[in-house]
Amino acid sequence: MRKGNLLALVLISLTVSVHAAEGAYFKFSDLLESESVKEDVLDPTVKLYWGTQPTPDFAEVARPEPYTRSSISLSPFGGSRKHCVEAFEKALQGMIADARARGYDAVVNVRAARDGKPTDDPAGFNCKPGYKTTEVPLIGAFAMTSAAVQRASQAEERSVNGPARPPSAGAIFLPLDPLLVSDEAKAILGPNVNAYAGVKAPAYSQRYGPDLYSEDAVIEKLSSEEACKRAVLKTLSSMVEDAKSRDYDSIIKIRSFLDGKFAPVATEVECHLGKKSASVTLQASLASKK
């Protein structure tokens, strides 16, 4: 290859590399007009309120939650604008999916985040593509209209009043209340966290969830009931760790949710017994009491 041609290629490569590393400003309004966002990200059941956009009065608003997603570049020249866009779409998609899964029908004050907090710019964000990984952090607060609260209440009522059923194959039912007031549970909860089984819960100012928590316990020489008890207590410990890390003082509406099914009695836990271990899955929300 001639020296002139080689020099031209080097200069082109340097130009592309420098260009790829440059930052750019992205307006939310422009990003939301793309076909990929309209077709693959937005959900008509979850309404978004951006920045300082006025909102209606909601029945419940959760704490702001950050969502950071990334886009990977395989190019030897590093990332580009498209990786900023892709990371934004992934972050927004994750936020909407979690809101929908938890029964919320809106997300308010959506904006870019920095260090886990919302930025001062309600209209967009700056993004500098990384060489391999480009990240875009968003933040927003899940919210429920009165209609969403009513739907959740009706779904809860149906799950409680449904017909009784036998345990799943290889599972047994145990009462949950005695486990939550046992000395072992009290030691796990400590003086600052309270636990509430079933569908009743104290009045709260803020809530996070619901989420699923699963743990198991080795059976060894234990009875089936004792192994299940240990699995429940390990699961409770995971809930308490989550509550403390997120600064909540209550774990509410603790219910068995094995294999995607609530136990027919809201204060019972369904425990699966395998050859070597017992396992449980509990659904619960974290809350701060009023």
Picking from 113, 146, 179, the residue at the C-terminal end of a domain is 146
Distance CA 143, CA 103 (A): 9
Geometric angle at alpha carbon 35, from 102 and 30, rounded to 5°: 90
* Domain, as residue range, for 60: 20-146
In this predicted structure, the answer to whether residue 14 has a pLDDT above a threshold of 60 is: no
If asked whether residues 177 and 285 sit together in one domain, one would say yes
pTM metric for this prediction:
0.85
CA 142 to chain centre: 11
The overall average pLDDT reported for the chain is: 91
> In the predicted model, what is the mean pLDDT of residues 33-62?
96
Rounded to whole angstroms, the Cα distance separating 124 from 265 reads 48
- Quote the pLDDT of residue 289: 87
Q: Are strands 47-50 and 106-114 parallel, antiparallel or unpaired?
A: parallel
- Pair 99, 176 in one domain: no
DSSP state, residue 163: P
Q: Is residue 185 part of a domain?
A: yes
Number of domains in the chain: 2
